[in-house]
Amino acid sequence: MTSISSTLFQPSSPSLTHRKLHRSSSIRCCEDTVGRPRVQFKHQETNGLATFPEKNLNTVKLPPRPRRIILVRHGQSEGNVDESVYTRVADNKIGVTDRGVVEAEECGKRIRKMIEKDGAADWKVYFYVSPYRRTLATVRNLAKAFERSRIAGWREEPRLREQDFGNFQDREQMRIQKAVRSLYGRFFYRFPNGESAADVYDRITGFRETLRSDIDIGRFQPPGEQSPNMNLVIVSHGLTLRVFLMRWYKWTVEQFEGLHNMGNGNMIVMEKGYGGRYSLLMHHTEEELREFGLTDEMLSDQEWQKMAKPGELNYDSMMTGPSFFTHFDDEKEA
Arithmetic mean of pLDDT, 48-59: 49
pTM of the model: 0.81
State the DSSP string of 121-158. SS-EEEEEE-SSHHHHHHHHHHGGGS-GGGEEEEEE-G
Between β-strands 230-236 and 124-129, what pairing exists: parallel, antiparallel or unpaired? Answer: parallel
Distance between CA atoms of 245 and 289, rounded to whole angstroms?
A: 12
In the structure, what pLDDT confidence band is assigned to residue 114 with cuts at 50, 70 and 90?
Answer: very high
Quick one: pLDDT at residue 315?
84
Mean pLDDT computed over every residue of the chain? 85
Question: Binding site for substrate: which residues?
Answer: 73-80, 134
In the structure, what pLDDT confidence band is assigned to residue 33 with cuts at 50, 70 and 90?
Answer: very low
Are 34 and 309 spatial neighbours (Cβ–Cβ below 8 Å)?
Answer: no
Arithmetic mean of pLDDT, 203-220: 96
State the DSSP string of 159-222. GGSPPP--SSPPHHHHHHHHHHHHHH-TTT---TTS--HHHHHHHHHHHHHHHHHHHHHTTTS-
For 176-207, how does the pLDDT look when each residue is reduced to its tens digit (9 = 90+)? Answer: 998 999 899 999 999 998 999 999 999 999 99
For residues 41 and 319, which has the higher predicted lDDT (pLDDT)?
Answer: 319
Are 12 and 290 spatial neighbours (Cβ–Cβ below 8 Å)?
Answer: no
Task: Evaluate if residue 241 carries a pLDDT over 60.
Answer: yes
Quick one: pLDDT at residue 331?
54
Which residues are known catalytic residues? 74, 162
Quick one: pLDDT at residue 334?
53
In the structure, what pLDDT confidence band is assigned to residue 27 with cuts at 50, 70 and 90?
Answer: very low
By three-state DSSP, how is residue 33 classified?
A: coil
For residues 311 and 141, which has the higher predicted lDDT (pLDDT)?
Answer: 141
For 72-112, how does the pLDDT look when each residue is reduced to its tens digit (9 = 90+)? Answer: 999 999 999 999 999 999 999 999 999 999 999 999 999 99
Residue 269: how many other CB atoms lie within 10 Å:
21
Q: Which of 92, 168, 164 is nearest to 134 (CA)?
A: 92
Task: Give the range among 64-68, 107-111, 167-171 with minimum mean pLDDT.
Answer: 167-171
For residues 30 and 299, which has the higher predicted lDDT (pLDDT)?
Answer: 299
